[in-house]
Amino acid sequence: MPASSKQKLIIVESPAKARAISRFLGSGYKVEASQGHVCDLPKSQIGVDIEHDFEPKYITIRGRGEILARIRKEAKNAAKIYLATDPDREGEAISWHLAHALSIPENAVCRVEFHEVTKNAVKNAVKSPRQINLDLVDAQQARRVLDRLVGYKISPLLWAKISRGLSAGRVQSVATRMVVSREEEIEAFIPEEYWDISATAQAKAGKAKTGFKVRMVSIDDKKLPLANGEEADAAVKRLKSAALKVSGIKKGEKRKSPAAPFTTSSLQQEAGRKLNFSTSKTMQIVQQLYEGIDLAGEGTQGLVTYIRTDSVRISDEAMAALREYIPSNYGPELLSETPQIYKGRSNAQDAHEAIRPTSVLRTPEQIKDSLTKDQYNLYRLIYLRFVASQMKQAVYETLTADIEGDGIQLRFYGEHKVFPGFTLVYEESMDDVSDQAAESKFPQISVGDEISLTDVASEQHFTQPPPRYTEASLVRAMEEKGIGRPSTYAPTISTIMNRGYVIKEKKRLIPTDLGRMINALMEKYFSDIVDLDFTADMENQLDEIEEGKRPWKEVIREFYPHFAADLAVAESEIEKVEISDEPSDIPCDKCGAMMVYKNGRFGKFLACPNFPTCRNTKPVVNYLAAPCPNCGGRLMEKMSRKSKRRFFGCENFPTCSFVSWDEPVAERCEKCGSYMVKKYGRKGEMWRVCTNETCRNRVEITSVERGEIDDDADE
């Protein structure tokens, strides 16, 4: 039914948000969903009139005609129209296109902005509409036109010279370069040998005989580590006969502060580390939490604030509610003495708050039954991080003891937590390092005590190359270098993986041969496009447009001439590249030709070389040495189509339904007989872990068993 003359029409983006807002506002309002953009540049052509000052040519998106017709019908009878799309550049542009489609004047006070889908936020926003912010619209247009010029000019060149289906983009090309550059660093890295020396120490007399671990820090004023085994052997020999005493003891205190509430980037990173979510999965689930979940007894409620933000600020209202909540639920001793005000990055936009729960009173446990497992885990992460952000620091007591004699210096360092503070609730994870130093018992020693040593040992190490990027660490690196913005991290990483430029193994990103080839071409012919500083500066120029400091077409006019010159050189110089497919020893069961390996969005697959005459394809099957724990059949490595995550299943599916995310091993648990799986530790160690929940026996896999440790081992 059309809206009555007394009804006001509100247009939002998603149907889920429309349902929630309808309940908040009641019968006086009609809420419709545009389902994202209704107008955009056409897919069939570049859609930018370069000859007429880069004027964009917008059309109604295919499939949106019926939606737009329905909205027009409702708007015709509405007493007032409010445009309540998302509070960012994209949302502003959607409202601008809707205003044109509905013949709403540009200066009309029709734009409604709220940062959380809650009753109070929506009602207050409707009371305070504003005009459409044309600076935000222009910033979005500038980004869209830039991306269209780069994508629609370079991609056809790649199709013609290399292979159909390839693409280049303003941000995706830089992300690919970062992954390729890191791989080149790893390949060029030359390990250097070094040796550490450690021992177990204890006071000789009159003290408790509990040993404590010490490490050599210098010998004859030469700092460790030592360069080779000969030096290490000589140092061990001297250490065993040295007369040692405690020369100094220093007690101290270390304080650790809570992390700020989440930004888009930090949420993607932490969800990757703690929950093993990809960036795209994180954004998909947090979008659901933002738009609204149907809660038992409450109806549809938005659970978190707006999710595309690089601000760590929280509102005064949310701060007051949280600081009232902590003392009554966790104890007054855990509340920070003054409000914790966090400082964001220098180029962060402060239009939105940090990502936080819309109500601190809505605990994860209270609503667990209304959430899926993934929704619950992500909401819990956001909730606990927010709560911890206004708690006191954790306090650690530290002890450093120096032991010296005969030109040798050893050191003990230990710490233990004396006040947990915020760590009772939440601790941040880190990439490629342990979360925190191990807790240590302090030795009962005094200055002047004579020390004896046991278990004196030298240990050989080699310097390690920089680790490959994970999705989380690539997002962090992109943010630090100013590449992209909160809304672009996830789609950028998804794109370079879908194009086959980058693959993911054991959470690490590895460039493919195709990715390296495309990157080399881009570096040679389009050096500006893949230059990190150039791309970061372009993001700053887009920010200036948003702030009303620059006309958007001026940015395009400055960019295009040099880009067009590079394009002309590339078109004339790049020769046709023939990509030779890796041959296999597997015949095509349709035409008999020997199949070849190709890279697809889900990894390698087998294809008939006689395409398009023969279109036969097959998955590449990797079998494990371990038999299926259920039926004894062969286990196969597979790839989840939805999450693109590796898992293991039985070849006898569906007769046998065995599946496992972790790789099963051939050895059975020596304690209970259950099957075991392979797990990776943070420092490269590898374990066989029993899958029996009541056993959970762990056995470290030695270097002899596994060969060389993968540099990308990470639990």
Cα–Cα distance between 410 and 155 in angstroms, integer? 61
CATH code, 455: 2.70.20.10
Handedness of CA 621, 622, 623, 629 (dihedral sign): negative
Give how far Cα 435 sits from Cα of 60, 423, 463, 548, Å: 50, 12, 21, 43
pLDDT tens, residue by residue, 395-413? 999 999 999 999 999 999 9
Name the domain boundary from 418, 437, 462: 462
Question: Cα 550 to the chain's mean position, in Å?
Answer: 32
pLDDT of residue 714: 27
Q: Could you tell me if 383 and 438 lie in one domain? A: no
Give tens-digit pLDDT for 130-185: 999 999 999 999 999 999 999 999 999 988 888 777 888 899 999 999 999 999 99
**Whether residue 383 sits in one domain with residue 398:** no
End-of-domain residue from the set 369, 388, 407: 388
DSSP-derived secondary structure for 578-601: P-PPEEEEEE-TTT-PEEEEEEET
Q: Would 360 be classed as within a structural domain?
A: yes
d(CA 353, CA 389): 14
Flag whether 198 is in a domain: yes
Q: Report d(CA 224, CA 461) in Å as an integer.
A: 12
Check: CB of residue 290 under 8 Å from CB of residue 303.
yes
Residue 589 lies in a domain: no
Whether residue 693 lies inside any domain: the answer is yes
Q: Are 383 and 340 in contact (CB under 8 A)?
A: no
11 and 83 Cβ atoms separated by less than 8 Å: yes
Residue 75 included in any domain: yes
428 and 525 together in one domain: no
User: What pLDDT does residue 642 have?
Assistant: 61
Q: Which residues are the active-site residues? A: 306
Of 555, 560, 479, 552, the closest CA to residue 92 belongs to 552
Whether residues 437 and 489 share a domain: the answer is: no
User: Is 477 within 8 Å of 141 (Cβ atoms)?
Assistant: no
C-alpha 198/C-alpha 225 separation (Å) is 11
CA distances from 402 to 151, 225, 437, 618 (A): 61, 17, 19, 64
pLDDT digits (tens, 9 = 90+) for 39-98: 999 999 999 999 999 999 999 998 889 999 999 999 998 999 999 999 999 999 999 999
pLDDT, position 430: 66
Which among 573, 590, 618 is the end of a domain?
Answer: 573
SS3 readout for 48-74? EEHHHCCEECCEECCCCHHHHHHHHHH
Say whether both 247 and 296 belong to one domain. no
Omega of the bond leading into 191 within 30 degrees of 0 (cis) = no
Strand 698-700, strand 59-60: pairing: unpaired
In a domain, 601, yes or no: no
Instruction: Using alpha carbons, select from 95, 32, 92, 101 the residue that is nearest to residue 60.
Output: 101
Supply angle C-alpha 526, 529, 533, rounded to 5: 125
What CATH number corresponds to the domain at position 110? 3.40.50.140
**pLDDT of 163:** 77
In this predicted structure, what is the pLDDT of residue 577?
Answer: 73
Using CA atoms, how far apart are residues 394 and 434, in angstroms rounded to an integer? 17
Number of alpha helices (DSSP H) and beta strands (DSSP E) in the chain? 18, 30
d(CA 160, CA 515): 17
The stretches in the chain having pLDDT less than 70 are: 1-5, 206-209, 346-351, 430-440, 578-579, 599-603, 641-644, 681-686, 702-715
pLDDT at 683: 46
- Angle at which helix 552-573 crosses helix 532-546, to 10 degrees, equals 150
Strands 8-12 and 29-33, bridge-based pairing: parallel
Q: Which domain holds residue 401?
A: 193-257+394-462
Q: Is residue 607 part of a domain?
A: no
One domain for residues 126 and 14: yes
- Structural domain contains residue 604: no
Residue of 254, 246, 256 whose CA lies nearest to 415 = 254
Residues 21 and 121 in one domain: yes
Contact 513, 499 (CB under 8 A): no
Shared-domain flag, residues 555 and 519: yes
Please give the model's pTM, rounded to 2 decimal places: 0.79
Do both 14 and 127 map to the same domain?
yes
What is the overall mean pLDDT for the chain?
89
Could you give the number of structural domains in the chain? 5
Among left, alpha and beta (phi > 0; psi -120 to 50; other), residue 116 is beta
pLDDT for the residue 681: 59
Could you please report the per-residue DSSP string of 319-380?
HHHHHHHHHHHH-GGGB-SS-------TT---SSPPB-BS-TTS-HHHHGGGS-HHHHHHHH
Kindly state whether residues 126 and 40 are assigned to the same domain: yes
* Whether residue 291 is found in the same domain as residue 344: yes
CATH code for the domain in which residue 525 is found: 1.10.460.10
What's the full length of the chain, in residues?
715
How far is the C-alpha of 76 from the C-alpha of 79, rounded, in Å?
9
* 99 lies in the same domain as 162: no
